Amino acid sequence: MSSQKTRLRCDICGRRFKKGGTRYRIHLEIVSDFNGYIQDFSKKPEDFLEKKIEKILKQTEDMTEEELQEEVYLKRNLLVCINCREKFIRFLKKINK
């Protein structure tokens, strides 16, 4: 017996998988890529950085720790039905234009 939890529903549309029906796995990984560009703050007003940090803190104060981590690293393993697989591929093609 496998201790692994069997997922019976599509992770995207929630539809139940039929016994023996086709399922697809999507491994999604998004990693923040630092572009090496560091702004020269010496030419900015003294409180520029302070204000910038304040602004970032304000933007992120409503975010959970999980959401903040996802800004840098996001990993998802999805189990999807054939319809959602097609939808996902269409979506990828659309954003790749």
CB of 12 to Zn ion, least distance (A): 5
- By CB under 5 A, the residues from 12 to 51 that bind Zn ion are 12-13
37: helix, strand or coil: coil
Least separation in angstroms between residue 15's CB and Zn ion is 5
Distance CA 74, CA 32 (A): 9
Q: Which is nearer to Zn ion, 27 or 43 (CB)?
A: 27
Distance between CA atoms of 16 and 48, rounded to whole angstroms? 53
Structure tokens at 43: 């030419």
Using CB under 5 A, which residues numbered 65 to 94 contact Zn ion?
A: 81, 84
Q: Which amino acid, 94?
A: K
Residues in the site for Zn ion, rule: CB under 5 A?
10, 12-13, 81, 84
